[in-house]
Chain A
Amino acid sequence: MARITIDPITRIEGHLKIEVEVTNGVVSDAWSSGTLFRGIEIILKNRLPEDAWLFTQRACGVCTYVHGVASVRCVENAASVTIPDNARIVRNLLMGGQYVHDHPIHFYHLHGPDWIDIVSALSADPAATATLAQTLSPNAPVIDFSATKTRLQTFVSSGQLGPFAGGYWGHPAYLLTPEENLLFAAHYLFALRQQIKAAQMHAIFGAKNPHIQSLRVGGVTCKFDIVADRITLFRTLLTDMRNFIDTLYIPDVKYVAKKYAAWKYGGFGNYLCYGEFPLASAEATSNMLPAGTIMNKAVSTINQVDMAQISEHVAHSWYNGASLAPAQGQTDPNYTGYDTTARYSWLKAPRYNNQPMEVGPLARMLVAYGKNVPAAVSLVNDVLQYAGLTAADLHSVLGRVAARAIETKIIADAMDTWLNGLDPAGVSLITPTIPASAMGMGTNEAPRGALGHWINIQNSKIGNYQMVVPSTWNLGPRDANDVRGPVEQALIGTPVADPSKPIEILRVVHSYDPCLACAVHVIDPKRDKTYIVKAV
């Protein structure tokens, strides 16, 4: 069988290696390998539970905030704490702010160059592009496409292509016209400036972005930001972001989905969502985005989430030990070398009831759709109708891209309402007593998917700490039953036109928005050549 390795995959976060087997121009098998280990769970041992969230937030600066809030939640769970309403709302605004910052960047800057041929934009007619822009979204901010084209041309002519170096420009899988490419290239540049505002919004209640510094076990510390003029500033920036989402992000996603409607590859079928954005103090039952699991694409049957069903397999990972539930989990690293027939990843393989589960925007939106959350139903149906797709087509790369945009809009719109609930005279922080001995669990839905932290407090210190993160669910290896992880399964059936330019593989991997870096080597055994492919 022909093995293909792509090395390295960029436009993701972290360190990931993908190997695929191609038979007759189609992927027939795949292996996903996480290649970096830092040992944060080990570093947390014997430290104070109150300090944990500052450490865990450094699991990632791209998905900033999410690990911090999962950590304070798990200590609050261990201490049976209910946080004040102001804190609940601020945390929702911070979590929502992270989505509003993160998802547009993923579409335009990380995933975008897989769909948009930047070099093709150089032969576009700016006037025709302006007409197209007007048709696509009449209320979008006006952009000078002639200036954009000149700017791109100057950049390309300099010979140092920067982020565009190593791209597969001209690949037949690019389906957009030069004018469409210039339009979206201009939006790429616009979105690069726009994300500054989202980060600024985050810093109002979060002290700074990345790495928020206003949480504490028991609430939030930023009471002096819960005042009228800061709320007004937040709302001003949020309104600008909502305008961007409504006039650029959503219309662009719909248009790209329609042009690439034939690209229904990269689907999975099992989905897991922990639920997020508690709208009342009784958090678990009041989430705006509901919890649930879906098995085998049966969106009409949403099951309740039972956390006791979660275990982490290590059979194909570089750890000693057996499959364990996270509350009893261990991190005992043992690197034995990369071997796809044995152990090949630093990621463990999380399983729910021994099944691999996809987490992330598509999981959230399918659960919301299945549970008839009105905003989800109407937006999903709108995209399906525009692009000429059916609900069954949602189980694909296209479904993931669309779900990401749809939930950004739902959350951004809700944030405006949440602001009204802040009370400048209210309490934002309580001082709980943390027991000397306790177990706790904290979950959230990070932009990339379901996230859980488990703590075992012993003698007032952290005895054990385990994190099961979204990209571990999505990009983990095979389990003890040799069942593939989601991305490994999703890659099967993907066409590969040219093994030296595997853009199709990038499209599937990027659709999961990995928070891991990818290193992949490509080998085509039929032609007996080794391709070392640099992915942009």
Chain B
Amino acid sequence: MLSVAQEICPKAKAIIAIGNCASFGGIPAAIPNPTGAKNVIAALKDLTLPPVINVPGCPPNPVSFVGVIANYLLKGTLPETDQYLRPLFAYGSTVHSTCPFILDTDPTTGRCLKPKGCKGPNTVNNCTTVKYNNATNFPMNAGHVCIGCSDPTFWDMNTPFWGFLAADTQLPPTPLEIFEKDVQPIAVKPSVRKMAPSLIQKRNEEVFDVLGRRVSSAAQRVPGRHKTPGMYIDKTQSRMRKILGL
């Protein structure tokens, strides 16, 4: 598998690491990591790779994976990510902050599982909003604590699952520690186009009909082919009156 990855990955346009194992090492990398398992970036750290994006989770939400693909197909780029290369559209807020039970804290009847050791407050994912299997369910709704499966080293960091972390609990590794190299999160520039002044002037000379459609512009006007703008507007208005029954 490693030799296939070493051959194929440098030739790809992008790499999507699906699941906690590919993103962060996952369960085979849990202490004591008997096989020396690594995440994709660390395993291939000596190669020059195209952009990598992580879609972690155990399992990852397929909706998040499809979202990454759709973003790439529509915009030609990967979406904006956090420092662990997780797309912000899916991993931009904590599980706790979006959980429907966040205020349901009555000691007897409350469904908030934070007092029981839910790892929602320190985990980012979209389980509570997108949910699983055609939005059917998610763990806290089924009465089980979040185990934080989209975070690096969660198998060690978040146990006991139904308990609280000891004072000397291992904290999540830094990106440099987990990926064994420097990685830059993917930043997306805002999509405001700046027009050249000459084009702005041409745009100001354009004529629009009552529906806001551009009728003609001074730049596009060809002698003999277009009537004066006024007539276009008149024709449009009479057409509109007919459509509207006026």
Q: A: which residues have CB within 8 A of B?
A: 37-40, 42-43, 47-48, 50-51, 54-55, 58, 61, 196, 199-200, 202-211, 213-216, 220-225, 333
Contacts and interface: CB of A to CB of B under 8 A. Distances in A.
A482 to B, nearest CB: 29
A43 B34 contact: yes
B28 A39 contact: yes
Given A38-B35, A47-B159, A51-B160, 8 more contacts: A37-B35, A38-B27, A39-B35, A40-B27, A50-B160, A214-B139, A215-B144, A216-B162
B138 A208 contact: yes
Interface string B104-147: 00000001000000000000000000001110111101111001
Given A42-B32, A51-B160, A58-B58, A224 B27 contact: no
Interface residues of B, number: 30
Contact of A221 (B31, B138, B142): B142
A224 B113 CA distance: 14
30 contacts: A37-B34, A38-B28, A42-B34, A43-B31, A43-B32, A43-B155, A50-B162, A51-B162, A54-B161, A55-B27, A55-B30, A55-B155, A58-B58, A196-B134, A200-B133, A200-B134, A204-B136, A205-B142, A207-B141, A207-B142, A207-B144, A208-B132, A208-B139, A210-B59, A211-B58, A214-B139, A221-B142, A224-B111, A225-B142, A225-B143
B207 interface: no
Nearest to B26: A58
Q: Which of B31, B33, B133, B139 has the most C-beta atoms of chain A within 10 angstroms of its own C-beta? A: B133
A204 B34 contact: no
Contacts of A55: 27, 30, 155
A48 B166 CA distance: 14
Q: Which of B27, B32, B33, B162 has the most C-beta atoms of chain A within 10 angstroms of its own C-beta? A: B27
Nearest to A59: B27
Contact of A222 (B134, B142, B162): B142
A51 B111 CA distance: 21
A224 B141 contact: yes
B15 interface: no
B37 interface: yes
A207 B132 contact: yes
Nearest to A209: B133
A203 B155 contact: no
Nearest to A198: B133
Contacts of A225: 137, 141-143
